Every structure is written in structure tokens, then in C-alpha cells.
Amino acid sequence: MARMTGTAARAESLLGQGVVSTTSVAGGDICTSTRLRLTDGHNAIIKTRPQAPVDMFVREAEGLRWLAEAGGAHVPEVLAVAEDCLILAWVEQGKPTADAAERFGRDLAATHAAGASTFGAENDGFIGLAPLPNRPLPTWPEFFASRRVMPYVRAAVDRQALTLEEAETIESVMRRIHEFAGEAEAPSRIHGDLWSGNIVWGADGNIWLIDAAAHGGHRETDLAMLALFGAPHLQRMIDSYDEAAPLADGWRERLPLHQLHPLLVHAVMFGGTYGARAASAAQSLLDGTSGD
């Protein structure tokens, strides 16, 4: 294996030990990931990005540590963090299994149950490279509308990823969000960007959380993100979660509400049909109340 001199030297300066070898890790379009074999025999992964947004890696490290404190879903140990990189303990990958999915459902329920002090977080964060406003608000509907959906509606319109008519459909849902949000729940400790690419099926039989946009939010948000882009053995995960921490009535009907934010983020970042999909999700909520 080759040794990437610059990457290895940066890791050594942060870890205080030598790097024997480095190997490029495939996947990911935001950061460059490199596997490190260390002199103590352990492996790690370093994520780097030239001119990364200020505090991007710091916020990610804080979120991962906060999730790990819950003692629920598995999170790789943060070994070091700086403005230009993040170093995590290496997770050896395995194959998706129903048993791992079942364990993960229970583990995720435990993470959520650890709770948060508020809806939001002490600092703003990132979802990918996109900004994630986190200034707390007292209720989830207020937080979701003001900090998650409306900033991205405006950004999507500015970037012509959302038409004014589509924006109005989404805004109509936000004006009536209390009708769609279900019964109030206390803030949950959520991952915040829980699509299948941000979980690692470990060779140890556990699922590990990575690339967190962690904050105090609604637990249905994580489940909606998994459902939006799909995951192996998804139904097993959800069934196990529901057994450990029963979901409120109507949670499936609320999935489109929680999916508005990731769809709008994708509309801003990638364009394509994501804006139209967000408007369609909003319209499905409005249609569900027609005639009431």
C-alpha cells in the first residue's frame, strides 16, 4: 500500500503516532476519505476537504460524540478533529443482514430516547456542504418550518430549482404545519441526515452512524430519511424500532412532511426533479385534508 505523505503527516501530527500506510477509500462526493494503518496496529479513517466551510468538521465531530453519549446506535470514536480534517476509528464493513437491521432499530430508538434539551442545537451545522440553521425554538413545528423548510424554499426558488407555484404549495403546508405535525413530543436526539449512505453495516454485526447532522429534533425525521432513499431490511429496522419505542398514530402519513427538508436540500444542491418532488410531497399532505 502506498503512503500519501501529506495526509499521513497531517494524521500523525494530530494523533501523536505514526502512520504505516494509507489507502484511498471509495465513495463520497464531498470529502476525500483515506484509510490509515497506525503504528499501534489499529486502523482509522481521515476525511479531508480543501477549503472546507469553517467548523464543518468540528460540528460533525461534536454531533458524533453527542450521539455516542446516548449509548444507543453505534458511532465510531472521534480520534481527532481540526478545521481541515476529521479522524475516526475505522469500521470494518460487512454485509447487510436482517439481524443487524433489527438491532439497529432498537439501538436507534435508544439514541432518540436519550433526548435533547431543545429543538435545535447550540451551534449551526451542516448537511453535506449546505448550512443547517439550528437556533432553538420551543416547539418542533416552529423549528421545522423556520429552520429547516423555509430557508431552503427561498434558496431553491433563488436557484430556480423550485417554481413560485411549487413554493406556494410548500408554504401552504408550513402555514398549517400544526395540523400535520401530530401530537407534540419531547426533543429527540437525532442523526439529522440518516439516509442509507450514512450508515455502515459493520463486520461486527452492528450498524454504525457516520456523517451526522445531529440536533434535537423529531424522531420521525430520521425514519422518514431512511424511507425516502431506502435501505436494506428497512421494514425490519422500523418494526424493531416500533417495538422498542412505539411510534405515534399516523406516523406513516407524516413521512412526506419530514421528507420536505431533505428533498429541498437536494433541490438546492443538485437541482433536477427534487424541487418538484418536494412540492408533490407537500401537495399529498394538503390532499389528505381535503374536505375536512
Mean pLDDT by 10 residues, the chain (292 residues): 73 96 85 95 95 95 98 98 97 97 98 98 94 97 98 97 98 97 97 96 98 98 96 98 98 97 96 96 87 33
Do 70 and 203 reside in the same domain of the chain?
Answer: no
Q: What is the predicted pLDDT for the residue at 289?
A: 63
CA torsion sign for 80, 86, 87, 93 is positive
Listed residues 59, 89, 119: the one ending a domain: 89
Q: Under 8 Å CB-to-CB from 4, ≥6 apart: which residues?
A: 22, 34
pLDDT tens figures, 193-203: 999 999 999 99
Do 50 and 102 reside in the same domain of the chain?
Answer: no
Q: What is the predicted pLDDT for the residue at 29?
A: 75
Q: What is the predicted pLDDT for the residue at 97?
A: 98
| Contact indicator for 96, 173 with CB cutoff of 8 Å | no
Listed residues 47, 68, 89: the one ending a domain: 89
> Tell me, what amino acid is at 74?
H
Q: What is the predicted pLDDT for the residue at 190?
A: 98
| Contact indicator for 59, 125 with CB cutoff of 8 Å | yes
Reported pTM: 0.94
Q: What is the predicted pLDDT for the residue at 65?
A: 98
Q: What is the predicted pLDDT for the residue at 291?
A: 34
Do 126 and 27 reside in the same domain of the chain?
Answer: no
Listed residues 71, 89, 107: the one ending a domain: 89
Q: Under 8 Å CB-to-CB from 198, ≥6 apart: which residues?
A: 191, 209, 210, 211, 212
Q: What is the predicted pLDDT for the residue at 26?
A: 83
Q: What is the predicted pLDDT for the residue at 30?
A: 86
Looking at 107, 193, 211, 222, which residue is catalytic? 193
Do 154 and 225 reside in the same domain of the chain?
Answer: yes
CATH of the domain at 272: 3.90.1200.10
Do 121 and 263 reside in the same domain of the chain?
Answer: yes
Q: What is the predicted pLDDT for the residue at 145?
A: 98
Do 170 and 58 reside in the same domain of the chain?
Answer: no
Name the grid cell of 178.
Answer: 400544526
Q: What is the predicted pLDDT for the residue at 4?
A: 59
State how many domains the chain has.
2
Q: What is the predicted pLDDT for the residue at 3?
A: 47
Is 193 catalytic? The answer is yes
Do 255 and 155 reside in the same domain of the chain?
Answer: yes
Structural domain harbouring 240: 98-288
Q: What is the predicted pLDDT for the residue at 10?
A: 95
